[in-house]
Amino acid sequence: MTIGFSSRTARSACMLCLAGVLTLMPAAAAATAVRPDPGPPGGAADRTSSLYRSGTQVRPHPGAPRVPDVSALSWVVADAGTGDVLAANDAHRKLPPASTLKTLFALTVLPVLPGGLHHEVSPEDLSGIGPGSSLVGVVEGETYRVSDLWNGVFLNSGNDAVHVLAALTGGWSATAARMQAKARALGARDTHVRSPDGYDAPGQVSSAYDLAVFGRAGLRRPDFARYCAKVDAMFPGRDGRSYGIMNTNRLLTGAGGVAPYPGLIGVKNGYTSNAGNTLIAAARRDGRTLLVTVMNPQEGGGHAVYEEARALLDWGFEADGQVDPVGSLVREGARPRQGPQAAPAAAAAAKPAEDEPGWPETGAILGVAALGAGVTALALRLKLVRDDGS
């Protein structure tokens, strides 16, 4: 890793940081692993909620528009602001997520890697990339800013960029474990992470509900929101040259004969032969942001995931105020209570919620956060050029 100063200093800083990461991250994962999964966000009772029922779930008022007939195996329409789920179909059905899982990767790794850091890619960084993976063109021996690598993740869905970023934060297995812990902390109980880039792996699944949770959490981060909304960017090539890359989310770019959706602000698309086409899409209209997830349409070819998301977004905006929520993306423990039942702030701070990490996990995660802060401080002290958002 280099940060604009001597290679010896860079290597020393890198080794210190990596040692800390390797120590802390597996500790957090191990602490999480010994805790039994408490089940759905609101406890066992949530298994009887409408979001766990098969088929389409919606609570329309008289005269409300009809939910469109789509072929996806699973989908969700939610209000990104309130977290209310307006309609869903088999929301908790466990399915392969493909590259939409990169949203969880970003939620896990973005907080600990300053975008302005520079890193020289080693052969080990790129080892283990699955055959047929989508690539942005990362080359060993070349030096990249972390922000450039994130462009490669969000725009080109580059598994090579994911591998490099994972190597910088503890390695492939440790990153998968941290992603698993992050999913549980967000109340996403259907997701099982095996490959952080979303590449098909035995046992790797998520759900339309969980993907909506990840999309909503990501949009609340300015850096995530900025990356996922980019249409195009320049990516470093060999010998100081660069080349253009374009977002593969056709609902955002309008490429390939798919009309761009008005007001679309991201989030992430994906495809593998096992998962089919998957998509998390968010759009803003008249001050309201809707979030739609679509998993594996069964009809209409490769563009169906975009057209079905379009139909669901149109319905969601048209149905504003004409349906009652069928569930929520907000964890039960995160909902503020009203009146005398509200716990005192000191008491609430002293005891972790059931679906939050316990003190061992929290200590490890705080250690990682402190490490990230230390890297940032070092970078600033050495006059690291801040990420310019490109």
Catalytic residues: 99, 102, 157
Do 103 and 179 meet the contact criterion of CB atoms below 8 Å apart?
A: no
Q: Taking the alpha carbons of 262, 265, 266, 267 in that order, is the dihedral positive or negative?
A: negative
Long-range contacts of 245-254 (CB under 8 A, 24+ apart): 245/136, 245/151, 245/152, 245/155, 245/156, 246/155, 246/156, 247/154, 247/155, 248/134, 248/155, 248/156, 248/157, 249/279, 249/281, 250/303, 250/306, 251/279, 251/281, 251/306, 251/309, 251/310
Please say whether the beta carbons of 190 and 358 come within 8 A: no
Question: What is the Cα Rg of the chain in Å?
Answer: 21
Closest Cα to residue 104, out of 31, 176, 189? 176
Looking at this protein, which amino acid is placed at residue 205?
Answer: V
Residue 368's contacts (CB-CB under 8 Å, 6 or more residues apart) are 20, 21, 24, 25, 28, 112
E-strand spans in the chain?
Answer: 56-60, 74-79, 84-89, 118-120, 143-145, 232-236, 242-246, 264-272, 276-285, 288-295, 323-324, 327-328
Residue 381 has which token pair?
């002290």
Going by C-alpha positions, the residue among 184, 319, 158 that lies closest to residue 247 is 158
- The CA-atom distances, in angstroms, between 47 and each of 75, 253, 277 are 18, 38, 27
